[in-house]
Structure 1
Amino acid sequence: MNISDFRVEPADYQVDFDELRTLREAVFIVEQNIPKEVEFDTVDPDCYHLIARDNQHQAIGTGRLTPDHKIGRMAVLETCRGKGVGEALLLALIDKALKLGWTELMLNAQTTVSGFYGKYGFVKEGDVFMEANISHQIMRLCLEPVSKSSRPVPKPQDSLVEISETKTLEGTLSAILQLIGKARRQICIYSPDLEHVLYGRAEIVEALKQFAINSSGGNVLIIVQDTLAVRSQPHPLLDLAQRLPSAFLFRTPVEADDLQYPSAYIINDRDGYLFRQQSSHYRGVWSPTLPARNRQLAEEFERVWQRCRPCTELRALGL
């Protein structure tokens, strides 16, 4: 198997369980003869899981963080080893631990791969021990707390800005760009079909790219009603999401009322919003700073988000 590229992304334990199981069974149960009852433990549902995928969206590797600050279940398919997949998984897990504010990580390394972990700062601790008939070594990594950049005294909250009306494509694009540009850590988009004329525009895609890169762990949450329409043509935003999968999360409604919702909107975490009563028209209202309306839409978005399912059909395109 020739892997020219791959990506690492968070795994949804419920949605991705079959793929996680297949990976771990292939590596641990079939290849290493570890008993199935040992491999799949009770802590699994409470862990943070990662999955590595190749360009055909096939799962090729996985790893997890447990609630007690341990890395485990690092598995890469035999045909995919030596291509940087394990390294990418490990670095992504370390990065997640840093973002969670953890000050150390531990793992039980099989002694045959302890040198791999040593290259990334893990230090051996204690004696070699046997687990599932395989020799292991406890290893520990001390994490440097993420340094807080020295910042000036926070600026006063933005002044309220009265509602403005958008009537044209240009006005709508301008409002969206301003909302993206002012966002700190989160942007929420509710759209019928990820409107290509808006969210496929080069300037919008570039603004979302800059937000994803510069927001230090920020994300864009997108609810799409008609995933078939999204898949019917190439979409620049989907291409961007493929390159930055941890920043873009997609869900789609399953309840009739949500599927028939006629409006579209975008909100940021700086009290800004743009709301269009009819998603098929550009006419709408917006404000860069109007907390009351922003809060209403944010609460509505969260309620619908929780009712939605992950867009596995979009992920099959590379998300």
Structure 2
Amino acid sequence: MDRSDFTLLAVPIFSPLCNLGFALRREVFVIEQNVPEDLEHDADDMTATHVVGIMDGAVVAVARILFKPEHAKIGRVAIAASHRGKNLGARLIQFALQVAGEQDQPRCYLESQADKTGFYARLGFTAFGDEFMDAGIPHLRMKNY
């Protein structure tokens, strides 16, 4: 598969592509990881910059970026099960970092599921603080600054 046919876009909330991203988040977090549905969406979705990755005619990657005074917070990162292991996650995070930089916010922060910290570390993030539980899943805070 040619990875050059992976398109990354920042999309408006509730646009058709954003809604497909929300559907992917539900598939990954609620169905696969058993996150309670009422925790999957929150008020931050209304103010976030939403990013989707499109491949093979489908939204297969999703993330959101929240702009805070001190940093941009990257979250709700998900890749469709059918498209994992193809380096799409790294490209998604690199795109999110680019979007944050274009908004004059090079400092990024995220809360990684504990078993995914190695992935983010390879992209320049460093874990800090104590492990904590979110939606019943162990997490660690990470930053790139």
Give the direction of change, closer, same or farther, for the CA distance of 1:95–1:103 in structure 2 (3 Å limit): closer
Give 5+ residue unaligned stretches, structure 2: none
Alignment partners' CA distance in 2, 1:124 and 1:113: 11
Cα offset for 1:138?
A: 0.2
Q: Would you say 1:101 and 2:104 are equivalent positions?
A: yes
Q: Would you say 1:121 and 2:138 are equivalent positions?
A: no
* Equivalent residue, structure 2, for 1:47: 48
SS in 2 for 1:14: coil
CA RMSD of aligned residues (A): 1.4
Alignment partners' CA distance in 2, 1:81 and 1:141: 23
Higher strand share: 2
Deviations, residues 53-88 of structure 1 (Å, cap 9, x unaligned): 1132x1101011112220000000111001121111
* Equivalent residue, structure 2, for 1:14: 14
Question: TM (normalized to structure 2)?
Answer: 0.91
* Equivalent residue, structure 2, for 1:61: 61
Alignment partners' CA distance in 1, 2:79 and 2:46: 20
Is contact 1:3-1:54 (8 Å) kept?
A: no
* Equivalent residue, structure 2, for 1:26: 27
Is contact 2:90-2:123 (8 Å) kept?
A: no
Alignment partners' CA distance in 2, 1:90 and 1:36: 24
Give the direction of change, closer, same or farther, for the CA distance of 1:139–1:17 in structure 2 (3 Å limit): same
SS in 2 for 1:66: strand
Matches within 5 A, 1:1-319: 5-15=5-15, 16-56=17-57, 58-68=58-68, 69-142=72-145
Alignment partners' CA distance in 2, 1:3 and 1:91: 19
Give the direction of change, closer, same or farther, for the CA distance of 1:95–1:37 in structure 2 (3 Å limit): same
Give the direction of change, closer, same or farther, for the CA distance of 1:59–1:103 in structure 2 (3 Å limit): closer
Alignment partners' CA distance in 2, 1:14 and 1:83: 27
Amino acid at match of 2:132: F
Is contact 1:29-1:39 (8 Å) kept?
A: yes
Q: How many residues align?
A: 140
Alignment partners' CA distance in 1, 2:127 and 2:95: 21
Cα offset for 1:3?
A: 6.6
Percent of pairs with identical residues: 29
SS in 2 for 1:101: coil
Alignment partners' CA distance in 2, 1:3 and 1:103: 30
Alignment partners' CA distance in 2, 1:104 and 1:6: 26
Cα offset for 1:17?
A: 3.6
SS in 2 for 1:139: strand
Cα offset for 1:14?
A: 2.0
**Higher RCO (C-alpha under 8 Å, 6+ residues apart):** 2
Alignment partners' CA distance in 2, 1:3 and 1:59: 16
Deviations, residues 236-272 of structure 1 (Å, cap 9, x unaligned): xxxxxxxxxxxxxxxxxxxxxxxxxxxxxxxxxxxxx
SS in 1 for 2:67: coil
Alignment partners' CA distance in 2, 1:67 and 1:10: 14
SS in 1 for 2:75: strand
